[in-house]
């Protein structure tokens, strides 16, 4: 083959590769937008289920997700093989993840849906902080600045009065912290070679078993409608987990993670349409700061890559 022919083949190969990357990125964005929709829908079903205790809501959400995860794990024929060193990150992921679900569900019931989702979306910033201690990763200046701005945004959403933050807002922030810590342990497990379906199945099963004693001892009778709503919440959660897994299989986190903040927009719309919850000006300022920080961080990192 001539030099010119080799050059043309190389150019064609590079063009095809670039097109494949763009296609994968678009699929990743689509899946993460879908995941955000499912998770906001889960919050709606949890809220609509009414005065069912938070731990009971979490149990039914988790048991449905556990069943779905097990079915997917069996159908994928993934070999279930765990080493001794895999157990600590899986257990810690499950502990923090379970606390995160309980905190988020309680915040959804006692705070506006949009505000609760916004505070829960502090998780990526908490993940940056916890990665220092868990993974030994040192944040750069952009990441440190993003953490500071995110906390400022959270303060607008939480609206502290006389130096005291409301309990629902504190619980919402706790949910963001524990979720971010859980995601960091997910990454650690992944770095040790644990497959995604195993992580999801382990967490869902762990959470279900932890919440089972409380259900048996303190079960609150539910109407058929409430049970259906909690099953739908579990199905929505499973859809969100599947979608977000697919998203990160198609594209790297730096390219698509910012689109996960669309969940706040979905939640705000659901809050307005279903519950007549209109975010006040302070919450809107907080949303702009946190979402703007996420977009700015994503833009700067992609410009460097």
pLDDT category at 164 given cuts 50, 70, 90 is very low
Backbone angles phi, psi at 112, to 5 degrees: -60, 150
pLDDT surpasses 50 at 162: no
DSSP bridge partners of 164: 161
Q: What is the mean pLDDT of the chain?
A: 81
Q: Name the token pair of 60.
A: 């039914």
Per-residue pLDDT of 28-77, as tens digits, reads: 788 888 988 998 899 899 889 988 898 898 998 889 888 888 888 888 77
Task: From 302, 299, 281, 303, select the one nearest 291 (Cα to Cα).
Answer: 299
Per-residue pLDDT of 210-265, as tens digits, reads: 999 999 999 999 999 999 999 999 889 888 877 876 776 676 655 666 677 777 77
Q: Where are the domains of the chain?
A: 51-304
Whole-angstrom distance, CA of residue 304 vs CA of residue 301: 5
Task: From 94, 20, 75, 12, select the one nearest 250 (Cα to Cα).
Answer: 20
């Amino acid at each position: 083959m001539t030099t010119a022919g080799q050059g043309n083949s190389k150019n064609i190969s590079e063009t095809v590769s670039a097109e494949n990357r763009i296609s994968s990125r678009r699929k990743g964005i689509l899946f993460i937008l879908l995941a955000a929709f499912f998770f906001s829908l889960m919050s709606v079903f949890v809220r609509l289920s009414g005065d069912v205790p938070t731990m009971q809501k979490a149990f039914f959400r988790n048991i449905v997700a556990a069943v779905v995860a097990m079915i997917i794990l069996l159908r994928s024929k993934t070999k279930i093989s765990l080493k001794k060193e895999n157990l600590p990150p899986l257990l810690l992921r499950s502990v923090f993840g379970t606390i995160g679900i309980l905190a988020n569900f309680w915040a959804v019931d006692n705070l506006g849906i949009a505000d609760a989702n916004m505070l829960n979306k502090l998780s990526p910033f908490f993940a940056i902080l916890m990665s220092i201690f868990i993974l030994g990763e040192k944040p750069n200046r952009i990441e440190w600045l993003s953490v500071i701005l995110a906390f400022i945004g959270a303060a607008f959403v939480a609206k502290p009065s006389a130096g005291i933050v409301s309990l629902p807002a504190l619980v919402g922030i706790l949910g963001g912290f524990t979720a971010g810590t859980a995601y960091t342990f997910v990454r650690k497990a992944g770095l040790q070679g644990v497959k995604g379906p195993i992580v999801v199945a382990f967490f869902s099963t762990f959470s279900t078993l932890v919440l089972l004693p409380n259900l048996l001892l303190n079960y609150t009778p539910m109407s058929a409608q409430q049970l259906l709503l909690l099953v739908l919440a579990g199905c929505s959660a499973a859809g969100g987990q599947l979608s977000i897994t697919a998203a990160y299989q198609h594209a790297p986190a730096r390219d698509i993670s910012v689109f996960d903040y669309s969940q706040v927009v979905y939640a705000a719309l659901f809050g307005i349409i279903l519950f007549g919850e209109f975010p006040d000006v302070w919450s809107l300022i907080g949303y702009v700061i946190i979402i703007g920080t996420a977009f700015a961080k994503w833009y700067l990192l992609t410009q460097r890559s």
